Amino acid sequence: MNDGQAKNNGDLCFECESCAEQFPLVAEVPRMLLSPLREALLGERMVGQDEAQVKTALSFGFEWTRFPEMYEEWSRTFLDYMQPHGPEFFRGKKVLDAGCGNGRFAYYAARYGAEVWAIDLGPAVEIARRNTEQAGVVQVVQADLHRPPFALESFDFIYSIGVLHHLPDPEPAFNRLLRYLKPSGEIQIYLYWQPEQQPIKRALLIMVTWVRMMTTRLPHRIVYALAFPAAVMAFLFYVWPYQFLKRVGLKTLAEKIPLKQYASLPFRVCVNDQLDRFSAPIENRYTRQDVFDWLNRAELESPQVSAAYGWVGTGRKPAKTEPTSVTKRGNAVE
């Protein structure tokens, strides 16, 4: 779709001559999926080799239709995930949101002055379109993160928050995204962390992993119902003790408690995250060094990795260098 053999309409390719495909506009969202994947998402054929990808897309599509809400707290969360970039960074930039979910981050990127192209594989795109229609310049597209329907090197900034770690091939997908980043452009990713030297968090993660072995096989509606008592348990054992310890002056001890971030968020955010945690078919986790290795192997400049209840990695694509012109005269080179 982006190999020069397609007919363009603005920034998107709506007809692929090499594959005899046309892509419809449904509910004001361009559906830029090749037919095998599109049919699998609609349940019209066997999933085959895309099984994990399709199951993940349907899981998150179900999730965001149950949790379409936009909260004021997302403004702070957006900037936490975009560190060290502040609001002024986005003004005038062309941005790709790779895996937009319900559109909460695309909304703020546009509010801060960016032209945002937000893609997602599943049915969440219709929620994202509704949530971003008043934000500014946002175009939501149903598309495969592995094959974005855009020209290469066409974005100033690309971010993928909470998406890559749910893919069967996270690092190759990250490297493919870099092809759509302009020279000197920057990329931002958020990945789940693998707790190190944190016995409480490691024990909690082991327990969650065992539970996931069962819940990822259950129908989405059952996991959705189970997410509410799971959120209550999170508040009972972690959030409320954290708030109590802070109130009585034991802040240092309080900061060691897992899941404390939910103390400043609506309860339904915790429910949403429990559905995410126990429903998504794939969950990969990384150390800080793992994320640095991704950035370094991609030869990004100024790589940084910081903590935000996971790892936020950022780096800049090298600028293109002009070839040096040389003239040979005998044994001399000028």
List, for residues 138-173, the tens digit of each pLDDT value: 999 999 999 899 999 999 999 999 999 999 899 999
Averaged over 52-59, what is the pLDDT?
A: 88
pLDDT of residue 176: 96
pLDDT of residue 42: 73
pLDDT of residue 321: 67
Could you give the CA distance from residue 305 to residue 187 in angstroms, rounded to a whole number? 12
Taking alpha carbons only, the member of 303, 271, 277 closest to residue 290 is 303
The SS3 of residue 167 is coil
Q: Are strands 332-333 and 328-329 parallel, antiparallel or unpaired?
A: antiparallel
pLDDT of residue 309: 87
Is the N-terminal amide bond of 183 cis, ω within 30° of 0?
no
Asked if 178 and 148 count as a contact pair (C-beta separation under 8 A), the reply is no
CATH superfamily for 66-194+285-316 is Vaccinia Virus protein VP39 (3.40.50.150)
Averaged over 108-127, what is the pLDDT?
A: 96
Q: pLDDT for 188-234, tens place per residue?
A: 999 999 887 777 778 888 898 999 999 999 999 999 999 999 999 99
**Does the pLDDT at position 18 exceed 80?**
no
Q: What's the whole-number average pLDDT of the chain?
A: 88
Q: Could you tell me the sign of the dihedral formed by the alpha carbons of 205, 75, 266, 59, in that order?
A: negative
Both tokens assigned to 176 = 């493919």
The model's pTM: 0.88
Domain boundaries of the chain, sorted by first residue:
66-194+285-316, 199-279
pLDDT of residue 287: 95
- Place 30 in a pLDDT band, splitting at 50, 70 and 90: very high
Both tokens assigned to 181 = 């980043």
pLDDT of residue 16: 56
**Does the pLDDT at position 95 exceed 60?**
yes
Q: CA distances (Å), 214 to each of 192, 207, 209, in order?
A: 20, 12, 9
- Place 41 in a pLDDT band, splitting at 50, 70 and 90: confident
Averaged over 272-286, what is the pLDDT?
A: 95
